[in-house]
Amino acid sequence: MSVRVKICGITSPAQATMAQDAGADALGLVIYPKSSRHVDIQKATEIRAVIGPQTTAVVLLVNADEATVRRVITEVKPDLIQFHGDETPAFCQQFGFPFIRAIRMREGLDIDAEVSAYKAEGGFLFDAWSEDQYGGTGHQFDWSRLPSSRDYPLILAGGLTPDNVASAVTTVRPEMVDVSGGVESSPGVKDPAKVQSFISNAKQA
């Protein structure tokens, strides 16, 4: 079975339609005001309306408060929440809603401890570490740090592009690859040719 592809940072219904037509398996909507790909809850709801049942709708949140998470679940109705900040296991689990836990690959990280603490049904997304940025850095980390055997879905992110995604898939063998800036013409604007190329190269690897 080929790797699944998530296109993150979708900012309009037209982009969502384009990415789905190109074969994306999942789309990510970023509700985080400090992101260049931020959409508010109303806009996220409009985008969600064009995401078909064959595509997984994911809302990415960074250190949102409990009320915001509940609003997203109720109003946007995603399939998964992606907790991408410093949220504790207890915070993520209190909603009884399936989630992806993002793990930023800082030095000295104990991956096994993170995985056992969060128990994320949607899997674990591994991204590059940045002191002041929660994702979307465009930087790649050392893939050899990832465990080769695991019992959870692994989502690979961080600096992926149409040029390196095939290598990423064959090296890491993730269940899903996640891209945002690597398929853009400018922040928040997806390039249809790059999206198509990324998905094709990932699936053929």
Q: 78, 88, 84: which is closest to 104 by C-alpha?
A: 84
From CA 151, how far away is CA 26, in angstroms rounded? 21
69 burial type by CB count under 10 A (0-12 exposed, 13-18 middle, 19+ buried): buried
- Best CA proximity match to 125, nearest among 107, 111, 138, 113: 111
User: What totals of helices (H) and strands (E) does the chain contain, helices first?
Assistant: 7, 10
Out of 21, 127, 151, 178, pick the active-site residue: 127
Q: Tell me the C-alpha distance between 192 and 161, whole Å.
A: 13
Distance CA(146)–CA(87), nearest Å, equals: 22
Is 112 noted as a catalytic residue in this protein? Answer: no
- Tell me the three state secondary structure of residue 176: strand
Inter-residue contact 114 to 103 (CB < 8 Å): yes
Quote the DSSP letter at residue 146.
S
Assess whether 127 carries a catalytic annotation: yes
Catalytic (active-site) positions: 8, 127
